[in-house]
Amino acid sequence: MLDLAVPWHRVYELHVVRHLRAVARRRGLEVGFWDASSEGEAPHARGDLPLLSTACPVYQGEAPTERLCYEQSLRSGSLLEPNRPWTVTTCYAGLREIIAGIEVDGRVVGALLVGGFRGTDAVRPTSDALLRAWNDTPLLDDGEIALLGEMTAAVAADVAFALRSALALREPNGAVRTHYDAIIGGAHPMQLLYALLDRVSRSESTVLVQGENGTGKELVARAIHNGSTRHDRRFVVTNCSAFNDNLLDSELFGHKRGAFTGAVADKPGLFEVADTGTFFLDEIGDMSPALQVKVLRVLQEGTFNRVGDTDTRKVDVRIIAATNRDLKSMVERGQFREDLYYRINVINLTLPSLRERKDDIAILVQHFLEKHRKTGGGRIKKLSEECVARMLVYPWPGNVRELENEIERLVVLSGDEVVIGEELLSPRIRTHSAPIEEDRVLPTSSSLPEAVEALERKMILDALRRNRWNKTRASAELKVSRRNLIRLVQKYGLDHPER
């Protein structure tokens, strides 16, 4: 199989998949994926994905599931025909699954599954345990199956499109991009952003960059400029919220000598300074309506007047605007001009928050540790596992800027220590909710099964924490199969809290 940039568990973040999952769960079903490279691994036990049915653990306890699920997976793969958008298969236990193939570059690389139901022709099991699970399994008629099948096939087509887009984001040597100009990150939302930047940079269109504070809007604007035909010209930046109305007017458009008290000489504005280059207007949502009119004129005609001057000046400037405010809502409330909104919103880039790209925290931490190594005496330090764990569950309301500030603070406070412990973290991060509920103490009950379960749970939890929630490594350490570990994780409710 092609080494795709999007892990299968990330596909759950797609809106269409979330919608399908909501529809399926209303019927007591579940959504999963089958990977063509899994060499027969059962679809419903693949990776960190949930079981397709709550009945699966019951059935798995009644039969040699490794062999049976393997054979079922081979049958599932053989049903994926290019001219057949979806089909239905029945597992060894009588549970049925809808299978819709996911095709990338002419190859079926996997399948989208909706399963955990029984048909009208299902055979009742004889075992009491299986019968109880069988009675709890949803029953779908042919019409419901057909409707769900068509929906699954449509979503599978959207997933294939997302995977093709991710594949196109590879570097020439096949590696996933982990940076773009000065932007750091390799998570899926960043890969999609990089693809947009490739197209946007080469154009001359006005761009509106939106996102929370600290997400790197100026870095994105600079990356667009550096990738454009204007890269050898001026890149000018101003923050519209840093000046009052009169000062911002003079800052943007300049003024004529004597225009106001203190105007002792003619002064060019930033639009003139940025002529033939790029002008980044940060926090444009804080600009007054009067100045919005003047900016609109520059955008439409390329002309303006200095404060106190009657001479019209003309410039050729590409404008990139940014804001953390909801401009559309401001337009509806009459706080922002509708014509200017549509003029700057030719291309819209929305930057993901750090909590939406937590896979990037590790690479960002390493980048900032190297960046601030001089602050720590020239040595590159590292964070303890406990420190990293705390950072992974913290929501980072200040985004990348807050993370960098925290790393710089840790480097300073750690002194000569090479490994930075969690005790040095800021209180807001250190006291944030723990990665998972506190370890349960062993029961005082004399019940042997209860004591065994408590010990088993603690050992699994400890192994997961030591291996950063990587189930493959944790299962190897515990000397159990990965599939068995996934079942036990679900049994004890030990899923990673951020998933």
Report the run of H or E that residue 117 belongs to, with start and end.
strand 107-117
* Per-residue pLDDT tens digits for 414-455: 888 888 888 899 988 888 754 444 444 444 444 566 667 777
Query: In whole angstroms, what is the distance from residue 491 CA to residue 57 CA?
Result: 9
Query: In whole angstroms, what is the distance from residue 321 CA to residue 206 CA?
Result: 8
In angstroms, the Cα distances linking 243 to 61, 238, 403 are 69, 10, 28
Q: Is 443 a member of any domain?
A: no
Task: Kindly report the average pLDDT of the chain as a whole number.
Answer: 78
Indicate whether 258 and 393 sit together in one domain.
Answer: no
Indicate whether 109 and 239 sit together in one domain.
Answer: no
Q: How is residue 497 written in tokens?
A: 């809290």
Indicate whether 387 and 416 sit together in one domain.
Answer: yes
CATH value at residue 194? 3.40.50.300
pLDDT at 348 over 60: yes
**What is the per-residue DSSP string for 309-353?**
---EEE---EEEEEESS-HHHHHHTTSS-HHHHHHH-SEEEEPPP
In angstroms, the Cα distances linking 392 to 194, 410, 423, 499 are 24, 16, 16, 12
Q: How is residue 151 written in tokens?
A: 């929906």
Boundaries of domain holding 293: 179-352
* Per-residue pLDDT tens digits for 218-247: 999 999 999 999 999 999 999 988 888 888
* Per-residue pLDDT tens digits for 248-263: 888 888 888 877 777 7
Q: Over range 270-295, report the average pLDDT.
A: 91
Q: Is 378 a member of any domain?
A: yes
Give the orientation angle of helix 245-253 with respect to helix 289-301, to 10 degrees.
Answer: 20
Indicate whether 131 and 240 sit together in one domain.
Answer: no
Looking at residue 168, its pLDDT comes to: 58
In angstroms, the Cα distances linking 208 to 35, 204, 286, 386 are 38, 13, 14, 39
Q: Is 2 a member of any domain?
A: no
CATH value at residue 144? 3.30.450
Q: Is 436 a member of any domain?
A: no
| Coil vs helix vs strand at 289 | helix
Q: Is the dihedral of CA 14, 19, 23, 25 positive or negative?
A: positive
Q: How is residue 385 written in tokens?
A: 């596992």
> How many structural domains comprise the chain?
4
pLDDT at 277 over 80: yes
**What is the per-residue DSSP string for 125-179?**
PSSHHHHHHHHTS-B--HHHHHHHHHHHHHHHHHHHHHHHHHHTTB-TTSPBP-E
Q: Is 153 a member of any domain?
A: yes
Indicate whether 95 and 127 sit together in one domain.
Answer: yes
Indicate whether 158 and 194 sit together in one domain.
Answer: no
Indicate whether 388 and 478 sit together in one domain.
Answer: no
* Long-range residue pairs from 288-294, CB within 8 A, at least 24 positions apart, any chain: 288/245, 288/248, 289/337, 290/245, 290/249, 291/245, 291/248, 291/249, 291/252, 292/336, 292/337, 292/340, 293/337, 293/340, 294/249, 294/252, 294/253
Q: Is the dihedral of CA 451, 452, 454, 458 positive or negative?
A: positive
Looking at residue 173, its pLDDT comes to: 55
Indicate whether 123 and 245 sit together in one domain.
Answer: no
For residues 104 and 27, is the Cβ–Cβ distance under 8 A? Answer: no
Q: Is 1 a member of any domain?
A: no
Indicate whether 407 and 455 sit together in one domain.
Answer: no
Q: How is residue 71 written in tokens?
A: 């054979």
Number of residues that make up the chain: 499
Indicate whether 132 and 235 sit together in one domain.
Answer: no
CATH value at residue 460? 1.10.10
Task: Please name the amino acid found at residue 303.
Answer: T
* Per-residue pLDDT tens digits for 152-186: 888 888 788 777 666 555 555 556 678 888 899 88
For residues 225 and 278, is the Cβ–Cβ distance under 8 A? Answer: yes
Indicate whether 191 and 304 sit together in one domain.
Answer: yes
Indicate whether 216 and 135 sit together in one domain.
Answer: no
